[in-house]
Amino acid sequence: MEMNRRDFLRGMGAAGAGMMVFNQTSGLFAQNANPAATPANSNINVALIGAGTQGRILAECIRKIPGINFKAICDIWEYNRNYTAKRIKAYTKKTVNAYIDYKEMLEKEPDLDAVVIATPDCYHAEHTIACLKAGKHVYCEKEMSHKLELAAEMVKTANETGKLLQIGHQRRSNPVYQYAYKMIHEDKMCGRLTALYGQWNRTPEDLLAWPAGKEVPEDILKQYGYDNMEQFKNWRWFKKYSGGPIADLGSHQIDIFSWFLNAEPYAVTAFGGADYFPNREWYEDVTVMYDYKTTFDGKPGSARSYYQVLNTSGWQEYYERFAGDRGTINLSENPKNCFYIPGSNVEIPKWMEGIEQMTLGGGVQAIPLIPALKNRGDDYKAVMEDFEQKQGHHLHLENFFAAVAKNDKKMLNCPGEIGYDTCVTVLSVIPAVEKGGLKIR
Ligand SMILES: NC(=O)c1ccc[n+]([C@@H]2O[C@H](COP(=O)([O-])OP(=O)(O)OC[C@H]3O[C@@H](n4cnc5c(N)ncnc54)[C@H](O)[C@@H]3O)[C@@H](O)[C@H]2O)c1
């Protein structure tokens, strides 16, 4: 399928302060105009649909990006709608129009240029497609959709309307990840990648509650397809609204495996358990293995990834690890878990010399990536310092608005096509779990 080809678009992505532009296919950095500066005079009118936990984080980032006018928000829950509208007004000193229904918002806000969508996954396709058809560019949170056919429809609509669609896999705009890609593919600091590992481990948590007396009225819940308030708040755990923890958390990290291997997996095997919590539908724990056909230095080879999401045990939290025959890189959104371990008898580059090493379990010495990258040169240092101020969501939104300002799809770090490929890979886990492995007893 045309849309299933990851190489359709890797695009030129903006790195950090925009001192460089990063090409994810070639891994090359080039000096370029500061893309973050592009929106400063660009007057982009923006609305947010979905002002919950993530919507608020995105709203906080958007209000800080120069050149963006926050015009409207839409949320079916009065509690979240009012909270976020008040916060934006307090900072921007401008009124933000608030709507319950996105159709009314699109009708009454004809001047919107772009819409940021942070509703539950089951609503991503409806909201994205309507906004694209109304002529708006869209930043839609991951997981792009809980249904593959809906994700495909989102890509198709973006291409038909010519509007930009960015998916919220923000690691793709994180310069630590972008530089790690370069270390692997240009500097060859890990040699040939053969084994990837990732995890997101959490201690068991109760279902989310809501402030007493602040429920969404029954008729609104029903109108928008929510069975009750508990499911409305805990949509991630129910099949009607979400692909479950493997889609919610795994999609971020499994997406990075494909990016770093320049390949999509051709096969999957997986196991999952849905027997720990009595009150939820989705698999709380999933272990997955993918197999990839790769090339290294022009030679064909293979690699495997192992991924687990646990909601029953939290040790070591979340990270991704890329192991090859000359070294290993560990990455995480937690900067403390970003480090390089050279293989035995592998010389480290000059810019890593003198960096205070960290001691891991078993006394293993690792070189922390952020101080090392800051030592690599002035451009790297500036990008890393900018990253430390802003973090991933902000940079991913900056990348989106920079692309919107130039109406240039090639600038997007995570266009719909990549989001779709990730959906194919991640949602394949569900039938793989249902099928089970080779029975031995
Ligand atoms: N990129 C990331 O790191 C990241 C992190 C967390 C969440 N997310 C994604 O962000 C999205 C939202 O997650 P969340 O944790 O904020 O969930 P949430 O439940 O806290 O917020 C969802 C909001 O959407 C509103 N809503 C629900 N249906 C709606 C509809 N039909 N129209 C308008 N508003 C509606 C709810 O009232 C709520 O305010 C999800 O897709 C999630 O996967 C991404």
One domain for residues 277 and 368? yes
Q: Does 407 reside within a domain?
A: yes
Atom 21 (ligand 1) nearest CA:
52
One domain for residues 359 and 394? no
Atom 25 (ligand 1) nearest CA:
50
Q: Report angle CA 49, 54, 59 to the nearest 5 degrees.
A: 65
Cα 141 from Cα 151, distance rounded (Å): 12
One domain for residues 282 and 222? yes
One domain for residues 107 and 8? yes
Beta bridge partners of 292: 303
One domain for residues 266 and 396? no
Q: Report angle CA 267, 124, 280 to the nearest 5 degrees.
A: 70
pTM (predicted TM-score)? 0.93
One domain for residues 101 and 180? no
One domain for residues 60 and 186? no
Distance in Å, CA 221 to ligand 1 centroid:
15
Cα 340 from Cα 350, distance rounded (Å): 14
One domain for residues 133 and 227? no
Probe target for ligand 1 pocket from 80, 129, 141, with the most ligand atoms within 8 Å of CB: 141
Q: Please report the pLDDT score of residue 351 as a whole number.
A: 97
Q: Domain total for the chain?
A: 2
One domain for residues 181 and 285? yes
Q: Does 181 reside within a domain?
A: yes
Residue 334's CATH number: 3.30.360.10
The model's pLDDT over 94-150, given as tens digits with 9 standing for 90+, comes to 889 999 999 999 999 999 999 999 999 999 999 999 999 999 999 999 999 999 999
Q: Does 439 reside within a domain?
A: no
One domain for residues 222 and 318? yes
pLDDT profile of the chain (441 residues), mean per 10: 34 32 38 43 92 97 93 98 94 92 98 98 98 98 98 98 98 97 97 98 98 97 98 98 98 98 97 96 98 94 98 97 98 96 96 97 96 97 94 95 96 98 98 94 94
Distance in Å, CA 6 to ligand 1 centroid:
26
Distance in Å, CA 265 to ligand 1 centroid:
29
56 Cα nearest atom in ligand 1: 16
Ligand 1 pocket by Cβ (under 6 Å)? 49-55, 74-77, 80, 102, 118-121, 123, 141-143, 168, 170, 224, 248
Domain with 156, as residue range(s), is 2-171+390-415
Q: Please report the pLDDT score of residue 40 as a whole number.
A: 60
Q: Does 420 reside within a domain?
A: no
Q: Does 10 reside within a domain?
A: yes
216 Cα nearest atom in ligand 1: 37
Alpha helices in 215-339 (DSSP H): 218-223, 229-233, 245-248, 250-261
54 Cα nearest atom in ligand 1: 16
Four-residue CA torsion sign, 291, 295, 296, 300: positive
Cα 157 from Cα 163, distance rounded (Å): 8
Residue 47: φ, ψ to 5°: -125, 160
Distance in Å, CA 51 to ligand 1 centroid:
7
Residue 38's CATH number: 3.40.50.720
Cα 408 from Cα 400, distance rounded (Å): 10
Q: Does 421 reside within a domain?
A: no
Question: Which residues 6+ apart lie within 8 Å of 409 measured at CB?
Answer: 9, 11, 164, 403, 415
Cα 183 from Cα 366, distance rounded (Å): 15
One domain for residues 104 and 159? yes
Q: Does 438 reside within a domain?
A: no
Half-sphere exposure for 17 (CA within 13 Å, toward CB): 13
Strands laid side by side in the 299-310 sheet: 267-273, 285-296, 299-310, 193-201, 318-324, 327-331, 339-342, 365-368, 358-359
Distance in Å, CA 112 to ligand 1 centroid:
21
Q: Does 440 reside within a domain?
A: no
Distance in Å, CA 368 to ligand 1 centroid:
34
One domain for residues 240 and 373? yes
